[in-house]
Amino acid sequence: MKIELKISLILVGSLSDQRIMAKQDESSDRQRAILAAVRRFPQFELAIHRLIVRSESFLEICEELAEAELALSSVDKTTTTALVETRRAEWQELVDRLVGEVGAAVRDSEATRNLGVNPRPPW
């Protein structure tokens, strides 16, 4: 009985630790997603925060953008020399497409519609 109880407590503790770690990972992913979007559209930081809270699909686009930017930044380290330029172009194309999607979502959001402005990447 004592052994079963001890094992149960260990398992429950493990599950709790796993949930905490999963929440921390989720929070880190969310922060990276927010930073990726705000880096591209700093003038719409508040709208981005609001959209991420309201729209799971917007959050996913921002997470994909953060992941694509990371992949683009590390293409030299992870790809063979012969494929570096090809992979860089592919990742850049994905980043550009995702930036366009983020911009379109921000532009279409009620928050920016009320401001009467059009978000454009600052480059």
Query: Tell me: the pLDDT tens digits for 84-100?
Result: 999 999 999 999 999 99
Has residue 80 been placed in a domain? yes
Has residue 120 been placed in a domain? no
Note the pLDDT of residue 45. Answer: 94
Has residue 121 been placed in a domain? no
**8 A C-beta contact, residue 66 and residue 89:** no
Highest mean pLDDT out of 2-11, 28-37, 77-86: 28-37
Tell which residue, 29, 90, 38, has the closest CA to residue 60. 29
Has residue 22 been placed in a domain? yes
Considering Cα of 93, then 36, then 41, then 74, what sign does the dihedral take? Answer: negative
Q: Give the range of the structural domain holding residue 6, as residue numbers without chain letter.
A: 2-115
Note the pLDDT of residue 82. Answer: 83
**8 A C-beta contact, residue 62 and residue 34:** yes
Please give the DSSP secondary-structure letter assigned to residue 82: G
Structure tokens that stand for 22 in this block? 């999963």
pTM over 0.85: no
How confident is the prediction for the chain on average, in pLDDT? 81
Residue 80 has pLDDT above 70, yes or no: yes
Note the pLDDT of residue 23. Answer: 55
Has residue 122 been placed in a domain? no
